Amino acid sequence: MKLSNNYILYPDNRALERAIASSLGMLGNGLVEAATPDNKVTVADNFLYTRGNYEQHRFSSNILDSVREALAESLTDQYRDQEPLAWAETQNSLGNILAAQGQQQRDVELYEKAIECFNKALEEFKQEKSPLDWAATQYNLGTAMQALGRQRDNAKLLKAAIDAYTNALLEWSRKETPEKWASAMHQLGATFHAHGRLLKGNRTFQKSVVAYKNALAVFDADNYAFELAATHNNCGAVLHNLGESEENPDRLDEAIRSYETALTVCLEQQLPIHLAVLCRVNRSTARSVLAELTKDTTLADDVADEFELIIECFPHALQPLCLKHCEEQINKAKCASTGD
């Protein structure tokens, strides 16, 4: 079966937030004031947590150029000679800024410069002497390569990202650094999923499911509500594609349950409504595939009703392409319900 396009949720990039926060001292007072995002805007952002790996909501993106320039100017040979570890951390910060701009502008060259920065940082951060800094840099490197690999549909980059996350997990453990470990597992799951879609490989999808389920062992609703919802949703997306690839109704049932759990977390924890809607769209899409696979006309009819309800009740929360997807799914489900 053809793989469905389902909606993936991306957590805040805390490394990017730290990079901006630690660099504000290099800027003038006017720019520091401009770093605060405009919270007066009342229109809901229905693209929140869906743009990619370099979302952050603590600072305005308008200052990225200034931060990038200040960081680049500070990276002198003298600085490296005198404070090699601080120089490496600055490379880390610059890499995250460049990657964020790469995502904004869909600019391959900016991503490549970010990857170069992380590799330079690894010249100073050695696993033996600075294991946690080395792991954090490997994680940053993996995230940049994952983002670029997604944009370019490049399996080689995605495999390199998997290797980088795996390296980070050599030093981050569930016991000692649970949040970082779970974040790396989440990103590993996301990368395996993207890689599996390119390879059309069930084993890679299965590895993604394992990674996501590892992350779920740490994330809880009280402390990590969004991360919990995102991981359940994204795990559902992998199971969804795996069910299609294997033509396996049991996998699709598991995907539907995972989407339902994500939806429940979104509603109970009062996360932005569009996230709950996306989980619901994903669930209905998986049910549509299940109806097609099992030739269940009653289920197909229910799916058509569900998509119509989503459009009727949540027009304000639907992204334009998501609305188009729902309309296409209605037509598909109605055809299936009549046996056409």
CA–CA distance from 48 to each of 10, 12, 57, 118, 236 (Å)?
9, 10, 9, 27, 19
Whether residue 308 sits in one domain with residue 286: yes
Whether residue 230 sits in one domain with residue 213: no
21-25, 73-77, 106-110: the lowest-pLDDT one:
21-25
Q: Is the pLDDT assigned to residue 42 strictly greater than 60?
A: no
How many whole angstroms separate alpha carbon 246 and alpha carbon 240?
Answer: 10
Of 277, 270, 274, 314, residue with least CA distance to 48: 274
Q: Is residue 7 part of a domain?
A: no
Share of the chain above pLDDT 90, in %: 86
- CA 183 to chain CA centroid, nearest Å: 10
pLDDT at 37: 60
The CA dihedral of 315, 316, 322, 327, to the nearest 10 degrees, is: 10
How many whole angstroms separate alpha carbon 94 and alpha carbon 120?
Answer: 11
Q: Which of 217, 252, 268 is the last residue of a domain?
A: 217
Average pLDDT, the chain: 94
Q: Which of 217, 246, 261 is the last residue of a domain?
A: 217
How many whole angstroms separate alpha carbon 266 and alpha carbon 229?
Answer: 6
Q: Is residue 3 part of a domain?
A: no
How many whole angstroms separate alpha carbon 96 and alpha carbon 73?
Answer: 16
Tokens 């409504």 appear where?
Answer: 273
Count of structural domains, the chain:
2
Q: What is the CATH number of the domain that holds 334?
A: 1.25.40
Q: Is residue 4 part of a domain?
A: no
Whether residue 111 sits in one domain with residue 17: yes
Query: What's the pLDDT tens digit per position in 97-138?
Result: 999 999 999 999 999 999 999 999 999 999 999 999 999 999
Q: Is the pLDDT assigned to residue 31 strictly greater than 70?
A: no
Q: Is residue 160 part of a domain?
A: yes
Whether residue 200 sits in one domain with residue 223: no
Whether residue 208 sits in one domain with residue 273: no
Q: Is residue 5 part of a domain?
A: no
Interior angle at CA 115, CA 113 and CA 117, nearest 5: 70
Whether residue 227 sits in one domain with residue 251: yes
pLDDT at 200: 84
Average pLDDT over residues 170-179: 98
Higher-confidence residue: 144 or 1? 144
Q: What is the CATH number of the domain that holds 166?
A: 1.25.40.10
- Which of the four pLDDT bands, split at 50, 70 and 90, describes residue 57? confident
Structural domain including 79 reads 12-217
DSSP code per residue over 195-235: HHHHHT-HHHHHHHHHHHHHHHTT--TTT-HHHHHHHHHHH
Whether residue 285 sits in one domain with residue 183: no
Q: Which of 150, 185, 217 is the last residue of a domain?
A: 217
The CA dihedral of 308, 313, 317, 318, to the nearest 10 degrees, is: 10
Query: What's the pLDDT tens digit per position in 293-337?
Result: 999 999 999 999 999 999 999 999 998 999 999 999 999 999 988
> Where on the phi/psi map is residue 11: left (φ > 0), alpha (ψ -120 to 50), or beta?
beta
Whether residue 201 sits in one domain with residue 277: no
Whether residue 265 sits in one domain with residue 139: no
Whether residue 206 sits in one domain with residue 138: yes
Whether residue 151 sits in one domain with residue 28: yes
How many whole angstroms separate alpha carbon 248 and alpha carbon 208?
Answer: 17
What is the pTM assigned to this prediction? Answer: 0.94
- Which of the four pLDDT bands, split at 50, 70 and 90, describes residue 62? confident
Query: What's the pLDDT tens digit per position in 207-251?
Result: 999 999 999 999 999 999 999 999 999 999 999 999 999 999 999
